[in-house]
Amino acid sequence: MSQNNYQHGTINRREFVKELVDLCPEALIVTGLGSPSYDVFAAGDRPENFYLWGAMGAAAAMGLGIAIAQPEKSVLVITGDGEMLMGLGSLAAIGAQKPKNLTIVVLDNGHYAETGMQRSHTSLGVELTGVASACGFDWTLAVRNPADVSQIAKQVNARNSVGLANIFIEAIEYPKALPPRDGSFIKNRFRGHLGFEPF
């Protein structure tokens, strides 16, 4: 896709995330900073949610670690294109490890929404599905139809493959829904859900 004919998507990200979370009630969810965290929180706060604050580029790597540590759990990373671009190396690590219980969902509006809506590299020709495929992911999906959410949820819940879905969303802002910002609280609540003591 060339720079001159880039068009952002038409999917309402907040509605899409809400439906995905509803369809994956048992999944452990890691969110990239900014809009993905707002969307997952708006879908309903739960102890299975691990919101990342100030850790741009770390969501997929964190999801990989959790997927390896919790192989019986579905792990769903919901992040943005800017955050995923910063953490591209984690896709190589995920492809090498191939955890069958990990799905990466990228909400791609082709912009860095948190810093002023500058165009991101996905609007300049970088295809995240192509990167994930080259890294050895079992499946990738470029999503322009919101009905594809059920296909993604099926993969998340099956826990038999590692994949990445790139969701082409509208390049618009939604009201912020701010999750808890206390890192210790988020960590200990998440650990408690998994049966571990706080530390």
Check residue 194 and give its pLDDT. Answer: 96
How far apart are alpha carbons 145 and 143 in whole angstroms?
6
CA–CA separation, 131 and 166 (whole Å): 11
Average pLDDT of the segment spanning 134-157: 97
Rg (CA), the chain: 15
Contact 179, 41 (CB under 8 A): yes
> Which three-class secondary structure state does DSSP give residue 80?
strand
Question: What's the confidence (pLDDT) of residue 113?
Answer: 62
- Predicted confidence band of residue 164 (pLDDT cuts 50, 70, 90): very high
Class of domain 3-193: alpha beta
Q: What is the DSSP letter of 116?
A: T
Q: How confident is the model at residue 115 (pLDDT cuts 50, 70, 90)?
A: low
Summarize the confidence of residues 55-79 as an average pLDDT. Answer: 96
Domain ranges of the chain: 3-193
Say whether pLDDT at 111 is over 70. no
Q: Are 104 and 129 in contact (CB under 8 A)?
A: no
